[in-house]
């Protein structure tokens, strides 16, 4: 079954066919991936469900939509149609925000463009005492964030980040965001899993892909106290243009690489003056 599924996924253009075949079979049977080969024979209903899931994955339905969740740092995040699926690259941005927050007493952290709420969930999980606020514009995505952040104490709000959290102006220690950053003319270059299944609001951001980044710049400047920091993810082709958004008035503007060595997120500090 695994060999057949792997071949089907490879023919469909899936980038990690064997991995995805194993994850789906583990999901259907409840047998851990490392124990699949010796885990017995799936029942007839399980085989039918599995083949249907493999067919959907071969049509480039996101793996996480089929399993209903994805791992992010040390938490599981529920995802599905209507919300952007958190990527492993974003874990580095979350790690930067968490590392900074842990140096502070009762840090105030704001996540813009929260999506499923993965960064906020990680912050409250790893930084005890942090006061975390998050905002999401898209209603279906907001509903996923509500599900993931229920009972965590995160102040989750539905609305536009441009005018969010006026009650927190000048009081925030860390602003973190994974905003949309794909240029409108880059449609053909986007993987079908994202292009056809992630919400448009989470992907596209003007002619140069930086419209939302400019809003992050303005909102973070308003929210942060002097010495506060902002971090925002960007496309690997924006390693110079994204930091340039923050360069005019911010201190210590730096770009950071992902695990593949590609430019991935920018950070900056609001000057103390």
Is 183 annotated as contributing to ligand binding?
A: no
Least confident stretch, 43-57, 124-138, 151-165, 193-207: 193-207
Q: What is the pLDDT of residue 187?
A: 67
Q: What is the pLDDT of residue 119?
A: 98
CATH number (3.30.200.20, 3.30.56.10, 3.40.50.150, 3.40.50.300) of 72-269 reads 3.40.50.150
**What digits encode the pLDDT tens for the residues 218-246?**
999 999 999 999 999 999 999 999 999 99
Q: Is 40 exposed, middle or buried (0-12, 13-18, 19+ CB in 10 A)?
A: exposed
Is 179 annotated as contributing to ligand binding?
A: yes
**What digits encode the pLDDT tens for the residues 27-50?**
999 888 888 877 678 899 999 999
Per-residue burial over 148-180, b if 16 or more Cβ lie within 10 Å, else e, is bbeebebebebeebeebbeebeeebbbbbbbbb
Q: What is the C-alpha to C-alpha distance for residues 126 and 210, in angstroms, rounded to an integer? A: 30
Least confident stretch, 53-57, 78-82, 183-187, 253-257: 183-187
Is 180 annotated as contributing to ligand binding?
A: yes
Q: What is the C-alpha to C-alpha distance for residues 76 and 148, in angstroms, rounded to an integer? A: 9
Least confident stretch, 27-31, 36-40, 96-100, 130-134: 36-40
For residue 41, the 8-state DSSP code is P
Give CATH 3.40.50.150 domain extents, the chain: 72-269
Is 50 annotated as contributing to ligand binding?
A: no
What percent of the chain stands above pLDDT 90?
A: 81
Contact between 183 and 236 under an 8 Å Cβ cutoff? The reply is: no
Is 89 annotated as contributing to ligand binding?
A: no
**What digits encode the pLDDT tens for the residues 176-212?**
999 998 888 776 677 888 887 888 788 877 889 999 9
């Amino acid at each position: 079954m695994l060999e057949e599924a792997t071949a089907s996924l490879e023919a469909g253009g899936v980038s990690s066919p064997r991995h995805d075949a194993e994850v789906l079979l583990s999901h259907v049977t409840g047998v851990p991936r490392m124990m699949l080969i010796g885990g017995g024979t799936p029942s007839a209903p399980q085989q039918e469900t599995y083949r249907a899931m493999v067919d959907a994955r071969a049509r480039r339905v996101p793996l996480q939509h089929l399993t209903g969740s994805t791992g992010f740092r040390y938490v599981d995040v529920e995802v599905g149609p209507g919300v952007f699926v958190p990527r492993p690259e974003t874990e580095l941005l979350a790690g930067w925000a968490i590392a900074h927050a842990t140096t502070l007493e009762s840090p105030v952290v704001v996540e813009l463009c929260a999506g499923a709420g993965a960064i906020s969930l990680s912050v409250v999980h790893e930084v005890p005492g942090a006061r975390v606020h998050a905002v999401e514009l898209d209603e279906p995505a907001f509903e996923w964030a509500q599900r993931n952040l229920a009972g965590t104490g995160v102040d989750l709000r539905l609305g536009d980040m441009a005018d969010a959290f006026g009650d927190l102006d000048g009081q925030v220690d860390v602003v973190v965001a994974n905003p949309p950053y794909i240029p409108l003319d880059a449609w053909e270059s986007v993987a079908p899993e994202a292009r056809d299944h992630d919400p448009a609001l989470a992907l596209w951001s003007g002619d140069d892909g930086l419209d939302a980044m400019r809003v992050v710049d303005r909102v973070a400047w308003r929210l942060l106290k002097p010495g506060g920091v902002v971090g925002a993810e960007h496309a690997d082709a924006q390693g110079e243009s994204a930091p340039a958004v923050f360069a005019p008035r911010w201190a210590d503007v730096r770009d950071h690489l992902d695990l593949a060595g590609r430019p991935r997120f920018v950070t900056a500090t609001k000057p103390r003056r």
